[in-house]
Amino acid sequence: MMKLIFKPFDRNTPDLFPACVQDYLPDDHMARFVVEVIDQLNIDDFTKTYRGVGSKAWHPAMMLSLLFYGYATGVFSSRKLEKATYDSVAFRYICANQHPDHDSINTFRKRFAPQISELFVQILLIAKESGWLNLGHVSLDGTKIKANASKHKALSYQYACELEAQLQEEVAELLKLAEQAESSDLPEEFSIPEELKRREDRLAVIADAKAEIERRAEERYQRERAEYEEKVARREVRNNAGKAPKEPEAGPREKDQTNLTDGESRIMPASGGGFEQAYNAQASVDIDSGLIVTRHVTQATNDKQEVEPTLAALEKLEPELGKAEGLLADAGYFSETNVNAVDDAGIRPYIAMERDAHNRRLQERFKPDAPMPEGDEVTPLLLMCWCLQTKAGRAIYSQRKSTIEPTFGIVKEVMGYRQFLVRGHKAVSAEWDLLCLAFNLKRMFSLKQENDEKWLSILYFSLLEALYAAHIVRILAAMLVSEYSLRAAHRSSDKHIAVI
């Protein structure tokens, strides 16, 4: 029988020299990259909040590296992050063989949420200095991320009114029973004070829910009223031509609702059909680098109102990153107001007016570009319409789907973030900021690897060229030596003949 020979392994004998955390990971590991980026950040806003009393705190640089690497690799829970510091070699390297507890991790994440969001621009500056980011055209889109609440816990205004009336009747009945308690034959487990308290608590929750629905209805009415008056004014300019706009109605509607678990989330249509309790997470991506440059979370289902917040965020980035050249967005963002807003910001709009049909006809694909519209009556909308029909404009807009859509795909499928872990718009916004930061670090690491491979290829081919040139030099030198030897031989032969 053939004897099997395996490499030996021994788990009991200690190493001759103690291991160092620097030996845990290869040089090109993402954990090393995250730590290097964090070391370049200015984290004075974190460190100056500590008073230096009590037990020693975990260093902010280590906690930031732990959070960023965790989110970039799909570990979001504070308990799972703590467990990873024991189980994962990469997390052991980041924490230098220390193990922050889950309560400290969660407290740090909540306490420094505003400061973590402020690091977003610093990381983009590092990308710019490294040559990975040169702000040009940006692609804007949004994705629905499920809230930490069930849609079945949503309460409509109509049902709230019905339930409120029912509970009030039950409270009145319980009070009558309380007056007759001495003479009534009630079950032993039936406690009137407990039943009253339960219904009073539910009535208080319903009252708060109704007040929230009424507040939203008033905000909607004021917004719709302003739009109505604007349409009426435009119609009067046209001598009341066209159909008259419908005047909005004040007050809540029967189907207006709020969620009892997370009252700031909203019922939104899901991409696969149906509805879910969610938030609308917005992001704009630089189409060349794939880095997220702006981000925010909104409660609006429709995307039309999200252009102006994005423009405001891009304006804040101008001193550090420069001005964006163009804004790409799908038909969900289209309105003449948004087109004018983008144009007024000095950015070229590329906003689709409707969904384009697939498989365009051959004549449409290769027809020549129409001449550019000119004259005083040319509006930004008319100019954008012309631009989107040109070959150059369509080539730019075609990059939208291949830049922003993969970003959301990576966040949801690769990083595995499909539902917010926190509740409330403020906490959700901080969570989305942290997620976008982690995505940018993950993307920057990929860009660094691509850049390193590019330089290695350049170095390799340069070396080949140098070796080839050296080989050619050696051949030429050998030819010259051979030619010189032949000529020397001929000269000596001629001299010998002359002597004879």
What confidence tens digit (pLDDT) does each residue in 398-444 have? Answer: 899 889 999 999 999 999 999 999 999 999 999 999 999 999 999 99
Residue 182 binned pLDDT confidence (cut-offs 50, 70, 90)? low
| 181 has a pLDDT exceeding 60 | no
Residue 455 binned pLDDT confidence (cut-offs 50, 70, 90)? low
How far apart, in whole angstroms, are the C-alpha atoms of residue 484 and residue 488? Answer: 6
How far apart, in whole angstroms, are the C-alpha atoms of residue 417 and residue 436? Answer: 11
The tokens for 231 are 């349409």
Please give the mean pLDDT across all residues of the chain. Answer: 86
Give the residue among 461, 169, 143 at the shortest CA–CA distance from 332.
143
The confidence score (pLDDT) of residue 489 equals 66
The confidence score (pLDDT) of residue 241 equals 74
The confidence score (pLDDT) of residue 209 equals 87
The tokens for 359 are 């498989």
452-481: average pLDDT: 72
How far apart, in whole angstroms, are the C-alpha atoms of residue 285 and residue 305? Answer: 18
3-state SS class at 473: helix
| 120 has a pLDDT exceeding 80 | yes
| 394 has a pLDDT exceeding 60 | yes
Q: Most confidently modeled of 109-118, 225-234, 264-273? A: 109-118
How far apart, in whole angstroms, are the C-alpha atoms of residue 90 and residue 73? Answer: 11
The confidence score (pLDDT) of residue 185 equals 65
244-257: average pLDDT: 85
| 500 has a pLDDT exceeding 60 | no
Q: How many CA atoms lie within 13 A of 21 on its CB side?
A: 15
How far apart, in whole angstroms, are the C-alpha atoms of residue 267 and residue 276? Answer: 6
The confidence score (pLDDT) of residue 43 equals 92
How far apart, in whole angstroms, are the C-alpha atoms of residue 205 and residue 456? Answer: 64
Q: What does the pLDDT look like over 197-230, one tens digit per residue?
A: 888 888 888 888 888 888 888 888 888 888 888 8
Q: What does the pLDDT look like over 434-454, one tens digit per residue?
A: 999 999 999 999 999 888 777
The tokens for 252 are 């809540």
Residue 421, amino acid: L
- Report DSSP letters for 247-278, one per residue: PP--S--TT-EEESS-TT-EEEE-TTSSEEEE
Residue, of 174 and 387, whose pLDDT is higher = 387
> Are 428 and 311 contacting, i.e. CB atoms less than 8 angstroms apart?
no
How far apart, in whole angstroms, are the C-alpha atoms of residue 113 and residue 170? Answer: 45
Which of 95-104, 111-120, 153-162, 451-460 has the weakest average pLDDT? 451-460
How far apart, in whole angstroms, are the C-alpha atoms of residue 136 and residue 142? Answer: 20
Q: What does the pLDDT look like over 12-41, one tens digit per residue?
A: 877 776 678 888 888 889 999 999 999 999
Angle at CA of residue 107, ends 277 and 48, nearest 5°: 125
Q: What does the pLDDT look like over 349-376, one tens digit per residue?
A: 999 987 776 666 766 666 777 778 887 7
Neighbours of 45 (CB within 10 A): 14
**For strand 154-156 and strand 137-146, is the pairing parallel, antiparallel, or unpaired?**
unpaired
DSSP character at residue 13:
S
Q: Which residues pair with 139 in a beta bridge?
A: 285, 328
Residue, of 479 and 285, whose pLDDT is higher = 285
Give the residue among 349, 352, 304 at the shortest CA–CA distance from 326.
349
Q: For residues 438-447, b (16+ Cβ closer than 10 Å) or e, as one string?
A: bbbbbbbbeb
The confidence score (pLDDT) of residue 490 equals 64
How far apart, in whole angstroms, are the C-alpha atoms of residue 231 and residue 241? Answer: 12
> Are 420 and 430 contacting, i.e. CB atoms less than 8 angstroms apart?
no
Q: What does the pLDDT look like over 145-157, one tens digit per residue?
A: 999 998 888 888 8
Give the residue among 332, 326, 341, 324 at the shortest CA–CA distance from 301.
332
| 249 has a pLDDT exceeding 80 | yes
307-317: average pLDDT: 94
How far apart, in whole angstroms, are the C-alpha atoms of residue 454 and residue 367? Answer: 38
249-264: average pLDDT: 86
Neighbours of 431 (CB within 10 A): 23
The confidence score (pLDDT) of residue 72 equals 95
How far apart, in whole angstroms, are the C-alpha atoms of residue 184 and residue 178? Answer: 9
Q: How many CA atoms lie within 13 A of 169 on its CB side?
A: 6
Q: What does the pLDDT look like over 60-100, one tens digit per residue?
A: 999 999 999 999 999 999 999 999 999 999 999 999 999 99
Angle at CA of residue 263, ends 258 and 265, nearest 5°: 90
Residue, of 282 and 389, whose pLDDT is higher = 282
Q: What is the dihedral of CA 218, 222, 223, 228, to 10 degrees?
A: 130
